[in-house]
Amino acid sequence: MVVPVDEVLSFRNMPKMMPAETPLDMPTQRFDEWPPERAISPGPAKLETRLSRLLVFTLTLAITAIGTFEMYEVIRPSGATRLQIAFAALFALTFAWIAFACASALVGFFRLLWQRNAPIPLVPLAKAGRTALLMPVYNENPERVLSTLEAMARSLVAHGAGRAFDVFILSDTRENRIAAVEEAGAAALKQRLAGRIGIYYRRRAENKHKKAGNIADFVTRWGGAYESMVVLDADSYMDGRTLITLARAMAADPKLGIIQTLPLLHNRWTLYARMQQFAGRVYGPVIAAGLAAWHGEDGNYWGHNAIIRVKAFAGCAGLPELNGRKPFGGHILSHDFVEAALIRRGGWKVVMYPQLGGSYEETPPSLIELAGRDRRWCQGNLQHMKIVFARGLHWASRVHLIQGIMSYLASPLWLLLLIAGFALAVIAKYAEPNYFPEGFSLFPVWPVFDPDQALELFAFTAVILYLPKLLGVVQALGDKRLRRGCGGVSGLMRSLGAEVLLSALLSPVMMLIQSRFVAEVFLGRDSGWNAQTRDDVGVTFSQALRTHWLHTLIGIAAGSIAYSISWTTFAWFSPIVAGLFLSIPISWLSGRVGPGVAAYHRKIFLIPEERAPVSKTEAAETPATVRGLEAAE
């Protein structure tokens, strides 16, 4: 039970909220130098990892080559103008992006078939050393955070591991009223769990370098007392058994630097959030298994729900300031990828155990809220352009950084591809054709596209785009618990159809939003750092109107141009036009609880965690009482 606001002042004589300091040196790293003697050992990756990499990259090249050749065959009958060459080049770049995801998912699917329950090396917990559970917070809801931490702490105690873990609330909260509730609530929690597990609270006077600086402050002041630390987000939840397994696995291999889990999405009830939860629950395991297969011991870190060896972090992950002004300069926003790259550079292993389970987080409740967070993530990932060529990095770490960069550059590339396609269609419609170009020719040159070839390309692209989702559903059908938790075969099929439709309509909207974000970053506009909305707060129609009115106008304009060219052109562009034209009502409805609950009752977007909540903290948001959320809107 968290202390109410009106009882805060009663905690006049709070107990000491932090242990004695055990400092640990954390030198700032350099990107422009890395002595040869400190380079990563060139030892070969495991055979399974090498084979997975060979398959992923070979399949990516093969699929991209086939798709690009098909595109060439579509435009070949009308010759090769500069615009057509640019169009084909943009197509190759965007197609390679989806080809890579498809190839990785294929490898993950077969890995799950062969190694679904691969054993994890473990040692007894007594040999694992002490582990710190870190919860960085920034203007969060204290009751939610402390309730979740209490559930995790009690789970550890129930499994006999309370003495092996300490819980730290690391506050960067700027609002004094929230901070007062945090401190009082932490003190009350400390008293309730006294003698069973350590609970500590610290609020920084200055939130320098945001979350990365918050974690670094802990490491340099108290890190010396701990072998490992588990880093959480404010919406994270991890089962006690999972935390214990992570500590035991870390101790089993002294060369491990990071173990990343697969956080599953849960605990939200808007239609948009439930769609994301279903996608993560059903498609996520296949995608994560593919990543784990080709990453091997050269993996990545997602910033939370992972265990890190404190010594490795302190010795390798001291982040420098980037040269230049914001948004590309200053402190590193997306620090997790960089920390993983630096720890791997130091010779430590970075691995992922997606099969572990018991790891959860929450998703943004609406497209609008996701876009608010995405602006900061966009800037942080584009900052990696200044880091990707840092000296000493493992080539796989460079690939991870490039993937983060491309996750945002893909949107403006897709937009440019669509613009080029529109331009080619307009030219074909209105430009006067030159049937007899310079040079000798027995026959006229007809400026046409090959419609049959275009249809083949469309079908091939659809297969590559949706195959990871189909593989996820096939895998779910073979998992009895997951299949039942998703509403059986009929529920899975309905959810797949609804997810494909809704994500297809939202994708062009997100393309425009991310393209604007990329443009803003290159224009020098900094994103800042705002607190996140983590509750099922419904989107109002006026919010949707303010956010998407321009998207709607662009959809109307694009549809009008396409229709003026031909019915065929309009049909080709109709999915994009429909998404933009309907962006206001779709964003509004998908960001509300009512449609999400209606979908639940129709067995759409069901996940097992809705029927059997992950922890006691979710009891107020189970289906039995979810009608109260509707009323709250």
Give the integer Cα–Cα distance in Å for 558 and 570: 9
Confidence of residue 201 (pLDDT cuts 50, 70, 90): very high
Q: What is the mean pLDDT of residues 451-458?
A: 75
Q: What is the mean pLDDT of residues 603-622?
A: 70
Tell the CATH topology of 122-252.
Spore Coat Polysaccharide Biosynthesis Protein SpsA; Chain A (3.90.550)
Q: What is the mean pLDDT of residues 185-197?
A: 96
Span 293-350, pLDDT tens digits: 999 999 999 999 999 999 999 999 999 999 988 889 989 999 999 999 999 999 999 9
| Residue of 486 and 36 predicted with greater confidence | 486
The owner of tokens 């630390």 is 229
For CA atoms 283, 285, 290, 295, the dihedral sign is positive
Span 491-522, pLDDT tens digits: 999 999 999 999 999 999 999 999 999 999 99
Task: Answer for the pair 590, 499: CB distance below 8 angstroms, yes or no.
Answer: no
Confidence of residue 435 (pLDDT cuts 50, 70, 90): very low
What are the residue boundaries of the structural domains of the chain, listed by start? 122-252
Least confident of 197-211, 273-287, 399-413, 422-436: 422-436
Please list, in sequence order, all residues whose beta carbon lies within 8 angstroms of the beta carbon of residue 224, skipping any fewer than 6 positions away. 22, 23, 24, 310
Confidence of residue 449 (pLDDT cuts 50, 70, 90): low
For CA atoms 498, 284, 507, 416, the dihedral sign is negative
Confidence of residue 534 (pLDDT cuts 50, 70, 90): low
Indicate whether 527 pLDDT > 90: no
**Percent over 70 (pLDDT), the chain:** 88
Task: Answer for the pair 256, 348: CB distance below 8 angstroms, yes or no.
Answer: yes
Q: Which two tokens stand for residue 321?
A: 């300031």
Calculate the alpha carbon distances from 570 to 120, 163, 580, 591 in Å.
53, 66, 14, 29
Confidence of residue 590 (pLDDT cuts 50, 70, 90): very high
- pLDDT score of 530: 66
CA quadruple 210, 211, 212, 217: dihedral, nearest 10: 90
DSSP 318: B
Q: What is the residue type of 531?
A: A
Q: Which two tokens stand for residue 123?
A: 């040692």
| Nearest one of 244, 238, 245 to 121, comparing CA atoms | 245
